Structure 1
Amino acid sequence: MGEDKKSLLQEYKLDQDNELRFEVESKGEKVYLTLKNGMAEIFGTEVVKGKTYEFTSGAKVAVYTWQGCTIEVKGKTDVIYTAKETPMVLYSNCHAALEIARTESEKENKRGPITMTVGPSDVGKSTLTRILLNYAVRMGRRPIYVDLDVGQGCISIPGTVGALVVERPASLDEGFSQEAPLVYNFGHKNVDANTKLYNMIVDQLAVTVKERLEVNKKTRHSGVFINTCGWIKGEGYKSILNSGKAFEVDVILVLDQERLYNELVRDMPNYVKIVFLQKSGGVVERSKHVRSEARDQRIRDYFYGTIKNQLYPHSFDVKWSEIKIFKIGAPPLPDSCLPHGMKPKDHLTKLVSLTPNPGILHHLLAVSFAEKEDDDVILSHVAGFVCVSNLDMDRQTITLLSPQPKPLPNNILVLSEIQFMDSH
């Protein structure tokens, strides 16, 4: 009985400061949401009255209302309930404080606030970042969104860090508009795979973001929002400190962990404002399997687009002689074999030339903007990604799946540890 009931059309009347939360888990399931009256928002994006929004499997949605509203939900949800306790007022206060700082930065013609969100996995860091970005954009701001979470890759694909100027609120199904993002390839889904390389790339991204802030006045006053990954202990904590320093952050929002909050208060300079925030009760813990599926989906969307915005990737052969493939990081040498003065850790950021071999099948390759084969390759941002779908050892050709037709924008390609099995 309960099952049938959930799949019917239901109407929810929300009081002010309430949130309707629902999840769609079953594959192929679709849930439709319409705002009948009042005002509502989803993660800081306004819901248009009378428009029907579609959510598919994997969606975790929270519809919040400041004044009260009526919502109609059609379709089968796995979980649906109204929450009276939400941290939205606290999040809104953060936005208000940042808006004051942005207004001051305009008056004094200095840089707007640089805000970093930190905390363990699954506490809602990406969601909070998204809400604050949306609120800023709705005030007419043009902030930069920086994503340092290589596990999910919100700006490009997993295994990358990137930055994007946000000019309009995120659409409910597609997220922020991905026009001309700045992307650096890290090539692993966990920071601990190569923290030295990760910190180098973050430092480089910070330099480039600061240059962008200098060039554009509106963006300079709007500031930066940085989302980080959930690794907060040991080397992970050091990476947070490194990122904070590299971007010269003014504000750190700590979600859900007092210990992390206290450590940052102790270790960050006094002028950095550190704010402790509770996580939302609607935050859902994701299993390894769910994370892995989400990563695959991000890559699939990169090549094939989404249901609303389909893309038709190209597949073509390239001769081995026409490209150069590199990987970053060589096997460590014992100390006795190292040249005098070389540190054993240097191998982590060494560029190694690869001959195409079956081991690279299904791996992603970053198309580098680098001109030459020296350090440039490691610290260059990338034009995009291709996937190795076949290898012909006899003909010495490699078949690539690519978002755009031949020729490749550059012949320098960098191997990513991340794989994609193309099921189309």
Structure 2
Amino acid sequence: MAEDKGEDKEKVTHKLEPDTELRFEVEAGATVQLELTKGLAEVFGTELILNKKCTFQGGSKLAVYTFHGCTVTLTGKTESAYIAKETPMTMYVNTHAALEQMRQKADEEFTRGPRVMVVGPTDVGKSTVCRMLLNYAVRMERAPIYVDLDVGQGNIAIPGTIGALIVERPASVEEGFSEVAPLVFHFGHKSPGDNLTLYDLLISQLAEMVNLRCESNKRANTSGVVINTCGWVRGGGYHSIVHTAGAFEVDLVVVLDQERLYNELKRDLPDFVKVILQPKSGGVVERSKETREESRDNRIRQYFYGKKNDLFPHTFEVKFNEVKIYKIGAPSLPDSCMPIGMVVQDNKTKLVPIQPSQSLSNRVLSISLGEVGDDDIVTTNVAGFIVITQVDMDRQSYTLLSPSPRPLPRSVLLVSDIPFMDIK
């Protein structure tokens, strides 16, 4: 079927031949319903249910793939919709098959399952490949651990964090993976380059926690780990990729769409780490800076209001003296300000108290599970997130947007440089 660019068609039926996929993007402000009416098909590894309608909001980009042929119907306005005959899906499925063989061997020998890391520049489909590998594993009755290190466009919690999650059921076509009891750490920035020292420290801490989880959960241990990374692959970003491979002791690195990165990792990683190069999907499109910011904003909004606006957050006040707000990382002092021979080693991971001010308005904060006075607050996971919507200096109070009613579970708050305006 020819590409449809925003034509005002209410209902369009697409017939897909075997090993093809329907790629479509929902027009901004519109809603599109997808329905499988015949055959078998999947979206990023999740099987579609026959005659069940799935709803997608404006800006959503999806690909419906079929191994055996199918018929699907799109109802609503699409920015574009076309059937692609060239797709790398066979390669991705073969990667899953190789990982499954490693899991079977781990079952037989009572060893650790495969750990795979997906790397590549921005906008090559890393998150999508991770989602497919996880979904295929779960469909084989596995329970892999998903690790997301993309602080700019995180899928486990909100932007500015890294985290891990045991995946026990396929992702919902509409809403993604169930985010029950994730392990999340506060980073506070939308790019690793804003504090690379802290980023690497948190990766090491997360790897240690994942190892502990694997030791206590045999099924997760043999199912392995799937790691999503950020799109910064040069300089400090490349060093973080190598650091991540070592911290998580990965067995396989999948490089998407960049031969240079593939060759550098082949050179720098140990011989027992297998590095493979795979193409990106033709449906992946480059996102603008504005689109990325809008995506971050939507992700935070979904945390408070739900992906279908079916959650109702709470607004309440807390006094300045009821909470302690910190920022991780202090500005580095020039050598001229330091005593001779003294070097500050930990300014990037230093906990800095923040005084109440209007600059805290419309800022996202993490609720640390640490207590005031703990030495390890920086590397302690978080309970959730709030937004300071107003600072009242006269009343000495903050107005908070919170997913739960008062009181806050902890009094230690970590401020991020990621803004959020609560405009519903």
| Both structures adopt the same fold (TM-score exceeding 0.5) | yes
Shorter-chain TM range is over 0.9
Q: How does 1:94-243 map to 2 (within 5 A)?
A: 94-243=95-244
For residues 273 and 242 of structure 2, what CA distance do their matches in structure 1 show?
A: 12
Contiguous gaps of at least 5 residues in structure 2:
none
For residues 25 and 421 of structure 1, what CA distance do their matches in structure 2 show?
A: 24
**CA offsets 1:179-219 (integer angstroms, 9 cap, x no match):** 00000010000110000010011110110011000000000
CA distance in structure 1 between the aligned counterparts of 2:391 and 2:289, rounded to whole angstroms: 31
Letter in 2 for 1:319: K
Query: Shift in Å at residue 373 of structure 1?
Result: 2.9
Q: 2:248 maps to which residue?
A: 247
Which amino acid is 2:151 matched to? V
Q: 1:25: Cα distance to partner?
A: 2.7
Q: How far 1:31 moved relative to its partner? A: 1.1
How many Å separate the matches in 2 of 1:4 and 1:350? 51
Tell me the equivalent position of 1:390. 390
Structure 1 position 279, deviation (Å): 0.5
Query: Structure 2 length normalisation: TM-score?
Result: 0.97
- For 1:420, the equivalent position in structure 2 comes to 420
| Counterpart residue identity of residue 20, structure 1 | L
| Secondary structure of residue in 1 paired with 2:304 | helix
Cα distance in 2, alignment partners of residues 300 and 219 from structure 1 = 31
1:321 aligned partner, one-letter code: N
Q: Does the 8 Å contact 1:334/1:344 carry over to 2?
A: no
Aligned structure 1 segments of 4 or more residues deviating by more than 4 angstroms: 2-6, 339-342
What SS does the aligned partner of 1:212 have?
A: helix
Q: Percent identity?
A: 56
- What is the 5 A alignment of 1:3-402? 5-27=7-29, 29-307=30-308, 310-338=310-338, 342-402=342-402
Any conservation in 1 of the 2:215–2:221 contact (CA below 8 Å)? yes
Match for 2:321: what amino acid? S
How far does residue 340 in structure 1 lie from its aligned partner after superposition? 6.6
Equivalent position SS for 1:388: strand
Cα separation, partners in 2 of 1:339 and 1:404, compared to 1, 3 Å: farther
How many angstroms apart in 2 are the aligned matches of 1:25 and 1:235?
37
Letter in 2 for 1:125: K
SS in 2 for 1:129: helix
Residue identity in the other structure for 2:350: K
Distance 1:416 1:165 in 2: 26
Return the TM-score normalized by structure 1.
Answer: 0.97
| Residue of structure 2 equivalent to 1:406 | 406
- 1:399 is paired with a residue whose SS is strand
- Number of aligned residue pairs: give it: 421
Whole-angstrom CA distance in 1 between matches of 2:52 and 2:402: 35
CA displacement 1:86-122 (0-9 Å, x = unmatched): 0000000000000000000010100000000000000
Q: How far 1:338 sits from its partner (Å)?
A: 3.1
Judge which range, 255-264 or 312-321, deviates more.
Answer: 312-321
Question: How far is the alpha carbon of 1:59 from its aligned partner?
Answer: 0.7
SS of the equivalent of 2:159 reads coil
Secondary structure of the corresponding residue to residue 7 of structure 1: coil
2:8, 2:64 → 1: CA distance?
18
Q: CA deviation at 1:372?
A: 3.9
